[in-house]
Structure 1
Amino acid sequence: MTITQESAQAQRTKAVLYKPIDLSDFERRKDQIATELLTAATSTGFWHIVGHGIPQEDIDAAFALGGSFFDLPASAKQATRFIPRDYVGWRSLSELEAMSGTRNWEWYSVAYDGPKTDPRADSVWPAEKDLPGFKPRSLAFARQCHEVATRMVSALEQALKVEQGYFVKMLDLQQGNNPSILAWNTYPPKPATAIAQGKEFRLHAHADTDFLTLVFQRPGEPGLEVSPGRSTLADERLGKDLTGAWNGVPSDAGNVWYPMDPVENAITINIGDVFMRITDDILKSTYHRVRTPAPNDHEGERRTIAYFAWPNRDAIIQGPQKKYAAISAADLLASEGNAYAARKDDETWKEVAYRAQHENPYHTRKHESVARSPIPAN
């Protein structure tokens, strides 16, 4: 399918993906905002927001903060090594290369309540002597992100006609057991010609496991692609892991991938598996990936920040129709991290996720999403 022959469905998808939703004057405009969010969340599962209230200087400072961590010597970062069950800590280029077979990505993440299941609880934070003030500054930015996420969840509650506060209470930071994650990603400079003519990916196609995700991208650093609607076909060679985390990898046949490039002053948003599960698939947790530079793209370093808004650990995730088995947020989070750990030495995973499926990563294939009706009121 060429650009000139795109379907009416593709045009509708692009209209949702690329027209930012304005959150400004939130309380007065909540009805309108709720309607727009529901349209995006039930169709593409991905959208941009503006008018979110986080000053650009705070976003720039958060990028600089993450950069200061990545610039530390490996010996200092090694002390913060990744804890799979809690999905926090540092994943080095070499560690991620062991998982993917490609040396394209480095990660560091922190959480509100810290890891509760690992004796190295404080070790995910860099030493104060290495990065003075890193922890309070990180948590301050995370709180700003959490407030934006909570507003959107509140609006979606209203649009879905569920009991007021039903979802929002699961995000209550005052309970002291919220594992929401602030993560920094860095992708080293990679000219397209250096990575199999652009046929490998910086980050494999996947869906997030949280309520919803806020992604901060820097202008001029594209690469994020989405396959809207989560009716995307999964590759049968992998299937599901553990309790449903890492729900396979989308096959290369029958799926459309749309670029989700940075938009000035906007945050990119996507629905995660928690919201999909708790609404019995009405909201769409959408596959997305990060490609290597296309011809004429920025070939330098790419950095992003992601905020994964999670329910409190004791929240039970199940929709009214019980389409998915009940599971606590803590167990769902652990299943995600444990699935990651299990994949590190899985050669089939590497082949499917990072190499075999990507014969032409810039090709758009036919795909139609499925409309769903609103969730019944609780």
Structure 2
Amino acid sequence: MTNTAEKYALKELNLETTFGGMGKEIDRDVPVIDLTDFEPRREEITDQLWQAANEVGFFQLANHGLEPGLVGEAFGLSERFFALPEAEKQRFRLKKGLNAGWEFKSQVRPSTGTADDKESYQITLPHMDDLWPNQTLVPEFQRVMLNFEYRAWCLGMDILSCFADRLGFERDFFTKAHDRAQPDYQSTLRLLHYLPQPEDQPLDPSIWRAGAHTDFDCLTMVFQQEGQGGLQVSPGRGTEGKGGEREWYSVTPKDGLITCNIGDMLMRWSDDRLKSTLHRVRMPRPGEYNGPRYSLAFFCQANKDEIIQGPEQKYPPISARDYLLQRIQANFEAAGQAAS
């Protein structure tokens, strides 16, 4: 068996290999942060965000300014895209190492060694040539998704500006690090379709809709639909430990709330003051809704040429390009999708 220290260069990936297993489920609530009157209440909101990010690593946003109609429209078009025949979706296959395009059950987590039971479509702006379905195939898809991506980016930069204040950076530090106008921009809007489960199919404990992992960005914002649960979080600061000993609790999806979590990039940039929290999407159990599950996720990933290192220099400097590349390789290498 390969020693984990030899398998991956990044500490985060070696830890992820210890995250598998069902663990124990507990009841716990995710902090909800109201963004009403954001600028006048910036200091109060920053305090709430910092506490949630430091203690839990997950939080939900209310009154965030993204209209229900826009979110609903994006969900509807996502469903229309995934309902296309496979031959049509094959035209938009994932580009190697660029996080752009469509994939089917090709993401293999180091924590499980098995493919996630889902398909996804990634929108990363500089790499979308020939990846947009046209007006005949999915009408208005490109227009709506570009608008949604921009609005999600704006919200993400507001949240990250609060963390910049608290870390002692300039307020627009992370906005500059995620500059949409640059060719090395690599923030990603991801459309996700978790596959329906037949009633008579026994649960395979090795298969997950999304295996246990931490995200490798700065901030993730997830839009869920009521009645389509499964997202679970493992609380506590320590990420080490055998999967069977970990505690997990469910994040109930509610319309109007955006579920957010800190990613590994920001954990590094904060010298571990902020927590990148372990999470997963489990399979439905007997008696639960077992139809298709859809979600939308926006990943605030720093531009490729940005150097990630915190004020205390706890970690050696690494470019966002190299950091993301190593994470993509680890997640897709088993399916032959590794970046080149």
Q: Which ranges of structure 1 fall in alignment gaps of 5 or more residues? A: 1-5, 115-120, 235-250, 346-378
State yes or no: 1:281 paired with 2:272.
yes
Aligned-residue CA RMSD in angstroms? Answer: 2.6
Distance 1:219 1:86, change over 3 A: same
Distance 1:199 1:52, change over 3 A: same
Distance 1:182 1:331, change over 3 A: same
Correspondent of 2:44 among 5, 21, 32: 32
Normalised to the residue count of structure 1, the TM-score between the two structures is: 0.76
Correspondent of 1:111 among 124, 135, 138: 124
Correspondent of 1:297 among 288, 299, 304: 288
Q: Cα offset for 1:198?
A: 6.4
Contact 1:222 1:297 in 2 (8 A): no
Residue deviations 1:303-333 (CA, integer Å, cap 9, x gap)? 1111111112211111122222211112222
Deviates more, 1:164-173 or 1:60-69: 164-173
Count the aligned residue pairs.
Answer: 311
State yes or no: 1:226 paired with 2:233.
yes
Secondary structure in structure 2 of the residue aligned to 1:306: strand
Deviation beyond 6 Å, 4+ runs, structure 1: none
Contact 1:232 1:255 in 2 (8 A): no
Correspondent of 1:73 among 81, 85, 91: 85
Secondary structure in structure 2 of the residue aligned to 1:222: coil
Q: Cα offset for 1:207?
A: 0.9
Contact 2:229 2:251 in 1 (8 A): yes
Partners of 2:287 and 2:239 lie apart in 1 by 28
Secondary structure in structure 1 of the residue aligned to 2:310: coil
State yes or no: 1:137 paired with 2:144.
yes
Partner of 2:169: 162
Q: Cα offset for 1:193?
A: 6.1
Distance 1:165 1:78, change over 3 A: same
Q: Cα offset for 1:110?
A: 1.0
Contact 2:108 2:332 in 1 (8 A): no
Partners of 1:175 and 1:128 lie apart in 2 by 27
Partners of 2:96 and 2:202 lie apart in 1 by 28
Correspondent of 1:309 among 300, 310, 320: 300
Partner of 1:87: 99
Secondary structure in structure 1 of the residue aligned to 2:243: coil
Q: Cα offset for 1:161?
A: 3.4
Q: Cα offset for 1:38?
A: 0.2
Q: Cα offset for 1:336?
A: 2.0
Partner of 2:258: 267
Q: Cα offset for 1:111?
A: 0.9
Distance 1:136 1:295, change over 3 A: same
Deviates more, 1:222-231 or 1:196-205: 196-205
Partners of 2:296 and 2:146 lie apart in 1 by 13
Partners of 1:297 and 1:215 lie apart in 2 by 21
Partners of 2:176 and 2:64 lie apart in 1 by 21
Secondary structure in structure 1 of the residue aligned to 2:126: coil
- Aligned partner of 1:46: which letter? F
Distance 1:227 1:169, change over 3 A: same
Partners of 1:167 and 1:155 lie apart in 2 by 10
State yes or no: 1:149 paired with 2:156.
yes
Contact 1:230 1:287 in 2 (8 A): no
Partners of 1:166 and 1:108 lie apart in 2 by 29
Partners of 1:52 and 1:96 lie apart in 2 by 31
Partner of 2:6: none
Distance 1:101 1:170, change over 3 A: closer
Partners of 1:140 and 1:176 lie apart in 2 by 19
Distance 1:329 1:192, change over 3 A: farther
Q: Cα offset for 1:100?
A: 5.8
Deviates more, 1:170-179 or 1:140-149: 170-179
Secondary structure in structure 1 of the residue aligned to 2:280: strand
State yes or no: 1:58 paired with 2:70.
yes
Distance 1:96 1:192, change over 3 A: farther
Contact 2:224 2:255 in 1 (8 A): no
Partners of 1:127 and 1:340 lie apart in 2 by 30
Partners of 2:237 and 2:308 lie apart in 1 by 19
Partner of 2:332: 341
Partner of 1:318: 309
- Aligned partner of 2:121: which letter? Y
Q: Cα offset for 1:137?
A: 1.9
